[in-house]
Amino acid sequence: MVTFLDNDRLQKTTLTEFFTANKQAEREQMAAAAAGRPPLEFDCRELLYQEFPIQMTWNRTFRQWNRRKRGGGGTLGRIYFVGPSGVERFYLRLLLTVMKGPTSFDGLHTFDGVLYDTFKSACIACGLLDSDEQWDHSLTEAAVWQSGSQLRELFVCILLHCHPVSPLQLWMDHGSCPSFV
């Protein structure tokens, strides 16, 4: 599998280190269980990628996630918007919003013990594309910051490449939105 990170300098990103933190938590839990100790009080594998900044901080110098000393009450996590035309990046983003504790890109490709070839096929296997909920969410999210022409392009991209279950309902729900016009 080819990842999006071919440059050595980019190997330690917030995403790849999210995987590393989950691997470390997995090892620590296994060690605790093997030693007969109770499970650890905090397990970062219970967090979605966008929830990570609530409990963790990103150290830019060492390029790693560290546990917050105090709760991150007002902290927000965000993932950059990627439309369906971003193909695999779009499906990667979708999986990150619903899967807790992945330890690798392959972990995101795996569902029910089966390693799928693409993020899209993993999304299909997980049932994430069985309804128009994802397309509705994408249009709602994009309406916050995209122009009318960009929203119309996104809608056409969804129609052409994503095969929504009910295109008319998507249009009725979003076509009259002031930013769509």
- State CA 49 to chain mean position distance: 6
Residue with tokens 């695999």: 88
Higher-confidence residue of 167 and 74: namely 167
- Quote the CA–CA distance of 104 and 67 in Å, as a whole number: 20
For the chain, give the number of residues: 181
Closest to 142 measured CA to CA, from 83, 92, 86? 83
In tens, the pLDDT along 80-110 reads 888 888 889 999 999 999 999 999 999 999 9
Model confidence pLDDT, tens digit, residues 1-13: 555 545 555 679 9
Whether 115 has a pLDDT exceeding 60, the answer reads yes
Residue 20 has pLDDT above 90, yes or no: yes
Structure tokens at 178: 């002031």
* Residue 89: predicted pLDDT: 93
Rounded CA-CA distance 151/104 in Å is 32
Among candidate residues 7, 14, 15, 5, the one with its CA nearest the CA of residue 107: 15
High-pLDDT (> 90) share of the chain, %: 45
